[in-house]
Amino acid sequence: MPIISKIFDEYIVQSGERPEDLALKFYNNPFYNWVFFIINDIVNYHEQWPRSTQQLQAYCAAKYDNPAAGKDYITTEVKKGIDIIVPAGKVVPSTFQITYYDGSTTVTANPVASRSFYQFEESVNAEKERIQLVKPEFIEDFVEAYLIRVQKAGMFDIGITADSLSMS
């Protein structure tokens, strides 16, 4: 197993959780919030961090005239025993059909469901909710190694405590 997978855990961000909340929760230091941006390749907090339920509703209301209107059609899962014949969530035409042999009969199915603009945005947001985090027992080593690398590159200073921030 690669060492990289041993220092990270997957986490599902809950509605309304912010990076500083998670940094405090996992690392006892809200100033380690930047770690989530680095390891999840997030460069725009407002577009790439998951929205809370209320933020998602407001976003959809502002973006779409009718968030409940149909956006597209997606497949519903079709299985034959334990085998998946059609995976769920693929964008298809409303007339999509699949024909398969179930062992004794030829079956034709129309595994299609309508998806609204809001449901689409929910699925995009759900993907954003799945983040990686540095396991708490490795955070100090990660921060130290990252700060050394940044300082060697001459990029910029990172505030990791309230005392290291200045408003000059």
Q: How does pLDDT run along the chain (168 residues), one tens digit per residue? A: 555 558 999 999 999 999 999 999 999 999 999 999 999 999 999 999 999 999 999 999 999 999 999 999 999 999 988 999 999 999 999 999 999 888 889 999 999 999 999 999 999 999 999 999 999 999 999 999 998 888 887 655 555 566 655 554
Please give the C-alpha separations between residue 17 and each of 47, 84, 115, 118, 165, in angstroms, as whole numbers: 15, 35, 27, 21, 23
Number of C-beta neighbours around residue 22 at 10 A: 20
How high is the pLDDT of residue 152?
80
| 3-state SS assignment for residue 93 | coil
How high is the pLDDT of residue 163?
63
Q: Strands across the sheet with 70-75, in order? A: 91-92, 70-75, 112-116
Entry pTM: 0.79
